[in-house]
């Protein structure tokens, strides 16, 4: 904003562009699914022509399957493009990157992601993709009608400590909120901070909103449920980065009517789906991404079916991510009662490596009975690792259990998994490690 013009305010160029996009998003969210899909293909046509001209990888890919990017794209022709795998993105990045950018897309910056496996990928993003991220992030704030004057707390993996009240007030919530609104203070701590210290810190700064990972929230709830004072102003926790266990929502409501708002995102593509303020379903952000959920045969899943998430970033002209298999699984949702035409996801399931494999080769999404663990012992954290078709290791942060307690936990695990696996227990004094990005997975299968 121009500081000397208080009213009517004149936004700076970034804020003006952000307002222009938000105005369009406010209209397009109510379009029909058919109208949204048509405009997605119109935008994809521009991306495809640019990728054919500037990306050696995609020029070859289109030619291999006989596709002319100058065609009028249909759902059928789009679906004939082979999926882009993470391995291809890792190994052929230089061929995927575009040799030149349209002049109005601005500069580029690198985004690195190691995912849950430690396999590093690099994606080039542009000023345009950053602008869309800002617009969607602000849309999420506005959907949930947040009080921008309130205090925000952030606890994430790679987050600097921000604990100075004067600086927290000066910086505010940061972009995108501060581009258009005056905000309250924002405080932050890295995930490495001890959970007891986190709880004391949160009680002191007393935020209305908290942004953190589901696993970290669970650890805080463990303390609060034992009587540790929690911030009396806290009304909403925004969760990111990990699969949200449904039991966390109930625990938050029971504790004090605290609401969880989950965000589905990935570093490569930004915000993928936002939780609806009316239904709780996840709305795909169709103005920015074309999100598909495919079954094993490559067909689009119907509502209630679970499949692979495949994403096309419609505005990244530096690294074309066209039908990129992000390796997440999700359940397709129904039409949303809110009236928005944006497609929905009912649940974000996680990665394929988070599925349990039974001895007959079948896979399903596991529950491990963890909601009842604390009825048996004071278990602070848990993780299940499937090492073979018969063998599962149960890792627990707790003093070693008695034989009777192990027997009770084993019964819960086998009942939840639906098979009498051999179980072995490993005990830890400290918190179990997450991935390089600080994320934590409750179940990991090492069975290929």
DSSP 78-144: HHTSPPBPHHHHHHSHHHHS-S---GGG--EEEEEE-TTTT--EEEEEEHHHHHHHHHHHHHHHHHT
- Is 270 in the same domain as 371? no
**Residue 437 pLDDT more than 60?**
no
pLDDT given for residue 241 in this prediction: 85
What tokens were used for 31?
């379009």
Domain that holds residue 362: 355-445
- Is 148 in the same domain as 6? yes
**Residue 92 pLDDT more than 90?**
yes
- Is 217 in the same domain as 264? yes
- Is 392 in the same domain as 278? no
pLDDT band at 118 (very low <50, low <70, confident <90, very high): very low
pLDDT given for residue 371 in this prediction: 61
Q: What is the CA radius of gyration of the chain?
A: 23
State the CATH number of the domain containing residue 372. Answer: 3.30.300.30
pLDDT given for residue 394 in this prediction: 93
Residue-wise pLDDT for 156-211, tens only, equals 987 899 999 999 999 999 999 999 999 999 999 988 788 889 999 999 999 999 99
**Which residues make beta-bridge pairs with 350?**
329
pLDDT given for residue 367 in this prediction: 65
What tokens were used for 237?
């926790």
Q: Output the CA torsion sign for 12, 16, 19, 25.
A: negative
- Is 189 in the same domain as 202? yes
pLDDT band at 370 (very low <50, low <70, confident <90, very high): low
Q: What angle do CA 421, 426, 431 make, to 5 degrees?
A: 125
- Is 118 in the same domain as 182? yes
pTM of structure? 0.85
- Is 320 in the same domain as 395? no
Residues 6 or more apart whose Cβ sits within 8 Å of residue 18: 11, 131, 134, 135, 138, 176, 179, 180
- Is 347 in the same domain as 433? no
User: Based on the structure, what is the number of domains in the chain?
Assistant: 2
- Is 198 in the same domain as 296? yes
Mean pLDDT confidence for 118-140: 91
- Is 294 in the same domain as 327? yes
pLDDT given for residue 313 in this prediction: 98
Domain finish residue from 351, 377, 401: 351
pLDDT band at 438 (very low <50, low <70, confident <90, very high): low
Residue-wise pLDDT for 289-311, tens only, equals 999 999 999 999 999 999 999 99
State the CATH number of the domain containing residue 202. Answer: 3.40.50.12780
pLDDT given for residue 39 in this prediction: 98
Q: How far is CA 325 from CA 55, 256, 283, 353, 365, in A?
A: 19, 39, 19, 14, 19
Residue-wise pLDDT for 380-416, tens only, equals 788 899 999 999 999 998 899 999 999 999 998 888 8
pLDDT given for residue 430 in this prediction: 81
Q: Pick left, alpha or beta for residue 341 (phi over 0 → left; psi -120 to 50 → alpha; otherwise beta).
A: alpha
pLDDT band at 354 (very low <50, low <70, confident <90, very high): confident
Distance CA 72, CA 168 (A): 51
φ and ψ of 62, to 5 deg: -65, -40
- Is 280 in the same domain as 314? yes
Among the listed residues 377, 364, 363, the one whose alpha carbon sits nearest the alpha carbon of residue 412? 377
Residue-wise pLDDT for 16-58, tens only, equals 999 999 999 999 999 999 999 999 999 999 999 999 999 999 9
**Residue 321 pLDDT more than 90?**
yes
Domain finish residue from 333, 351, 369: 351
Distance CA 291, CA 310 (A): 6
Mean pLDDT confidence for 267-271: 95
Domain finish residue from 316, 351, 386: 351
**Residue 70 pLDDT more than 60?**
yes
- Is 398 in the same domain as 370? yes
pLDDT band at 431 (very low <50, low <70, confident <90, very high): confident
CA atoms within 13 A on the CB side of 317: 21
């Amino acid at each position: 904003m121009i500081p000397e013009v208080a009213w009517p305010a004149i936004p700076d160029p970034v804020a003006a562009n952000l307002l222009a996009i938000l105005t369009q998003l406010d209209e397009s969210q109510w379009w029909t699914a058919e109208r949204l899909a048509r405009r997605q293909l119109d935008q994809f046509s521009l991306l495809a022509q640019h990728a054919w001209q500037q990306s050696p990888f995609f020029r070859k890919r289109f030619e291999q399957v006989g596709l002319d990017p100058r065609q009028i794209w249909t759902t059928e022709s789009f679906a004939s493009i082979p999926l882009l795998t993470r391995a291809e993105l890792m190994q052929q990045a230089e061929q995927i990157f575009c040799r030149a950018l349209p002049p109005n897309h601005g500069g580029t910056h690198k985004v690195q992601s190691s995912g849950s496996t430690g396999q590093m990928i690099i994606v080039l993003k542009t000023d345009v993709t950053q602008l869309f991220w800002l617009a969607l992030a602000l849309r999420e704030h506005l959907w949930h009608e947040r009080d921008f004057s309130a205090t925000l707390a952030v606890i994430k993996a790679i987050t600097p400590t921000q604990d100075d009240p004067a600086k927290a007030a000066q910086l505010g919530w940061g972009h995108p909120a501060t581009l258009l609104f005056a905000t309250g203070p924002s405080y932050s701590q890295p995930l490495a901070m001890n959970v007891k210290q986190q709880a004391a810190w949160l009680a002191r700064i007393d935020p209305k909103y908290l942004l953190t990972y589901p696993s970290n929230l669970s650890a805080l709830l463990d303390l609060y449920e034992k009587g540790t004072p929690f911030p009396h102003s806290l009304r909403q926790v925004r969760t990111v980065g990990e699969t949200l266990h449904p039991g966390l929502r109930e625990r938050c409501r029971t504790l004090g009517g605290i609401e969880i708002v989950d965000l589905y995102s990935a570093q490569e593509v930004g915000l993928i789906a936002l939780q609806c303020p009316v239904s709780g379903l996840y709305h795909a952000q169709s103005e920015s991404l074309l999100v598909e959920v495919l079954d094993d045969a490559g067909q689009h899943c119907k509502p209630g079916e679970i499949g692979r998430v495949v994403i096309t970033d419609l505005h990244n002209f530096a690294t074309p991510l066209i039908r990129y298999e992000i390796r997440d699984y999700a359940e397709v949702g129904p039409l949303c009662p809110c009236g928005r035409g944006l497609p929905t996801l009912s649940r974000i399931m996680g990665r394929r490596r988070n599925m349990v494999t039974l001895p007959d080769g079948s896979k399903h999404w596991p529950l491990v009975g963890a909601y009842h663990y604390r009825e048996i012992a004071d278990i602070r954290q848990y993780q299940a690792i499937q090492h073979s078709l018969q063998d599962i290791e149960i890792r627990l942060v707790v003093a070693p259990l008695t034989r009777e307690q192990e027997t009770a936990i084993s019964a819960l695990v086998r009942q939840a998994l639906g098979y009498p696996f051999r179980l072995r227990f490993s005990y830890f004094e400290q918190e179990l490690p997450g991935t390089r990005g600080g994320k934590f997975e409750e179940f990991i299968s090492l069975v290929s």
